[in-house]
Amino acid sequence: MVALPVASIFEARTPFAVAQLIRAAQAAGTLDSSSIKVRPKEVAAPLSFSQQRLWFLDQLTPGSATYNMSHAIRIKGPLNECALGQALTAILERHEVLRTCFVEGPSGAEPRLLATASILRVVPPAIPPTSEQELKQAIKLEASRPFDLANDILLRAVLFRTGAEESILLFVIHHITWDAWSRITLDRELSDLYNSFVSEQPSSLTPLPIQYADYAYWERERLSGEFLYAEVEHWKRRLVGCPWILNLRTDHPRPAIQTFRGAKMPFILGEDLVCNLHQITQREGITPYVTLLAAFTVLISAHTGQDDFCIASPFANREFPETEPLIGFFANTMVLRNQVSAQATFSELLASTSVVTRDAYAHQWMPFEKLVEILRPARDLSRMPLTQVNFRLQADSGSLPRLKDLDVSAIPLIDNDTAKFDIALEVAIAPGAVGYFEYNTDLFTASTVTQMALDYELLLNALISAPNQPVLSLEPVQAIVARRLSPRHRPVRLSPRRAVNSSVH
Q: How confident is the model over 44-64, as a mean pLDDT?
A: 92
Higher pLDDT, 83 or 505: 83
Taking the C-alpha atoms of residue 239 and residue 309, their distance in angstroms, rounded to an integer, is 9
Phi-psi region of 417 (alpha: psi -120 to 50; beta: other; left: phi over 0): left
Taking the C-alpha atoms of residue 133 and residue 426, their distance in angstroms, rounded to an integer, is 26
Q: What is the pLDDT of residue 68?
A: 96
All domains of the chain, ordered by start, with CATH? 1-33 (no CATH), 49-213 (3.30.559.10), 259-318+331-396+417-488 (3.30.559.30)
pLDDT digits (tens, 9 = 90+) for 444-485: 999 999 999 999 999 999 999 999 999 999 999 999 999 999
Nearest to 300 by CA among 246, 242, 357: 246
What are the beta bridge partners of residue 425? 391, 437
Indicate the SS3 state at residue 137: helix
Taking the C-alpha atoms of residue 86 and residue 65, their distance in angstroms, rounded to an integer, is 27
Taking the C-alpha atoms of residue 205 and residue 196, their distance in angstroms, rounded to an integer, is 10
Taking the C-alpha atoms of residue 67 and residue 497, their distance in angstroms, rounded to an integer, is 25
Q: What is the pLDDT of residue 501?
A: 36
Give every CB contact of residue 186 below 8 A, 6+ residues apart in sequence.
71, 91, 171, 327
pLDDT digits (tens, 9 = 90+) for 171-182: 999 999 999 999
Answer whether residue 83 shows pLDDT above 70. Answer: yes
pLDDT digits (tens, 9 = 90+) for 409-432: 988 777 889 999 999 999 988 767
Per-position b or e across 208-221, b if 16+ CB within 10 A of its CB: ebbbbbbbbbbbee
8 A C-beta contact, residue 172 and residue 142: yes
Indicate the SS3 state at residue 123: strand
Give every CB contact of residue 207 below 8 A, 6+ residues apart in sequence.
none
Q: What is the pLDDT of residue 381?
A: 87
Calculate helix-pair angle for 475-485, 288-304, nearest 10 degrees.
Answer: 30
- Cis link prior to 202 (omega < 30° from 0)? no
- The pLDDT-based confidence of 505 (bands split at 50, 70, 90) is very low
The three-point CA angle 174-175-177 to 5° equals: 80
Largest alpha-carbon pair distance within the chain?
71
Taking the C-alpha atoms of residue 413 and residue 263, their distance in angstroms, rounded to an integer, is 12
Taking the C-alpha atoms of residue 292 and residue 103, their distance in angstroms, rounded to an integer, is 41
Answer whether residue 500 shows pLDDT above 80. Answer: no
pLDDT digits (tens, 9 = 90+) for 385-398: 999 999 999 876 56
Q: How confident is the model over 57-64, as a mean pLDDT?
A: 90
pLDDT digits (tens, 9 = 90+) for 258-276: 999 999 999 999 889 999 9
Answer whether residue 493 shows pLDDT above 60. Answer: no
Question: What strands, in cross-sheet order, belong to the sheet with 423-429?
Answer: 262-269, 433-440, 423-429, 389-395, 308-315, 332-339
Q: What is the pLDDT of residue 93?
A: 97
Answer whether residue 503 shows pLDDT above 60. Answer: no
Residue 242, class by beta-carbon neighbours within 10 Å (0-12 exposed, 13-18 middle, 19+ buried)?
A: middle
Q: What is the pLDDT of residue 27?
A: 59
Neighbours of 15 (CB within 10 A): 8
Q: How many CA atoms lie within 13 A of 483 on its CB side?
A: 16
Catalogue the E-assigned strands of 299-420: 308-315, 332-339, 379-380, 389-395, 407-410
Lowest mean pLDDT among 7-16, 138-147, 238-247, 393-402: 7-16
What are the beta bridge partners of residue 211? none
Predicted TM-score (pTM) of the model is 0.87
Residue type, 248: L
Answer whether residue 118 shows pLDDT above 90. Answer: yes
8 A C-beta contact, residue 463 and residue 299: no
Taking the C-alpha atoms of residue 169 and residue 157, their distance in angstroms, rounded to an integer, is 7
8 A C-beta contact, residue 343 and residue 470: yes
8 A C-beta contact, residue 193 and residue 157: no
8 A C-beta contact, residue 388 and residue 421: yes
Answer whether residue 16 shows pLDDT above 80. Answer: no
What are the beta bridge partners of residue 169? 73, 159
Q: Provide φ and ψ at 272, rounded to 5°.
A: -65, -40
